[in-house]
Amino acid sequence: MCSEHHISGTEGICPICHQQMERIKPTICYCQHCKQNYNEQYVCPLCSSALQQIKGCGAINYICRNDGLISTSKVKFHYLPISGE
């Protein structure tokens, strides 16, 4: 089953079975196939550090402490399994 954290690179795709996941909360996804909840994190493609997501006026932007504004198309999506659920 889904046990370790992985970077899928693609938003909403399960890192284990590669199927589309269901978004159940703003940063929580559920994989129907693996029966696992995942915490979604955003990773900088340049330095691999965590990104901050900023929403405003219908737009979503990602900021890296080291590299500044990161294009939405370049963001890597990192999914950590949530245990005990």
In this predicted structure, the answer to whether residue 5 has a pLDDT above a threshold of 90 is no
- Return the SS3 of 74: helix
User: Is residue 30 in a domain?
Assistant: yes
Tokens (6 digits) for 3: 């046990």
User: Is residue 32 in a domain?
Assistant: yes
User: Is residue 11 in a domain?
Assistant: no
The pLDDT score that the predictor gives to residue 83 is: 85
In this predicted structure, the answer to whether residue 8 has a pLDDT above a threshold of 60 is no
Structural domain boundaries enclosing 33 = 22-81
**pLDDT (average), residues 2-30:** 80
Cα distance between residue 82 and residue 71, in whole Å = 27
User: Is residue 6 in a domain?
Assistant: no
Looking at every residue in the chain, the average pLDDT score rounds to 87
Task: Say which CATH number the domain at 56 has.
Answer: 2.10.290.10
**How many domains would you assign to the chain?**
1
User: Is residue 15 in a domain?
Assistant: no
Give the residue among 84, 2, 83, 10 at the shortest CA–CA distance from 43: 10
User: Is residue 39 in a domain?
Assistant: yes
User: Is residue 5 in a domain?
Assistant: no
